[in-house]
Structure formats: C-alpha cells, structure tokens
C-alpha cells in the first residue's frame, strides 16, 4: 500500500504531472488513512454510480488530491 503509492507518486512527478487525485468511499477509513499518510488532502466530494447487485446506485465519494509540484 504505502510503498506502492509513494512509487506511483514519484513516477508521476518525474513524468511532469502536477497533481494526483483519488476518489474514496467515505466508509473506507483504511484507504483514507493510507492516502492521507502519503500526503493526499481532502479537497471535496462528488457522486459516482456503482453497480450493486446488478443495479446502478449513486454513492458519495471523497476526493483527495496530492500536489506534486
């Protein structure tokens, strides 16, 4: 988890990206903590459609950003 996110972040920085974004379900506290540990900051929330039991369901997700520059 942590090492992978750090590696991806470093690769993106070298490739010239300014920011990375992650969308995480609010109830996924483990992922939220991991992304925050790497340096991602909560910047907002939005809704996405997911399939649950074959039916589309609109769910809130939290948007995190990591500034690379």
Q: Which structure tokens are listed for 30?
A: 């483990």
- pLDDT score for 52: 87
Predicted confidence (pLDDT) per residue in 8-67, tens digit: 999 999 999 999 999 999 999 999 999 999 999 999 999 999 898 999 999 999 999 999
Q: Which structure tokens are listed for 39?
A: 């340096």
| Gap between the Cα atoms of 61 and 24, Å rounded | 5
- pLDDT score for 63: 98
Radius of gyration of the chain (CA): 14
Can you state the angle between helices 2-14 and 29-38, rounded to 10 degrees? 50
Rounded to two decimals, the pTM is 0.88
- pLDDT score for 25: 94
């Amino acid at each position: 988890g942590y090492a992978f996110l750090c590696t991806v972040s470093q690769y993106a920085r070298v490739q010239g990206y300014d920011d990375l974004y992650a969308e995480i379900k609010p109830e996924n506290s483990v992922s939220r903590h991991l992304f925050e540990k790497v340096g991602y900051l909560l910047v907002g929330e939005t809704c996405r459609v997911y399939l649950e039991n074959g039916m589309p369901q609109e769910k809130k997700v939290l948007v995190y950003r990591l500034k690379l520059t």
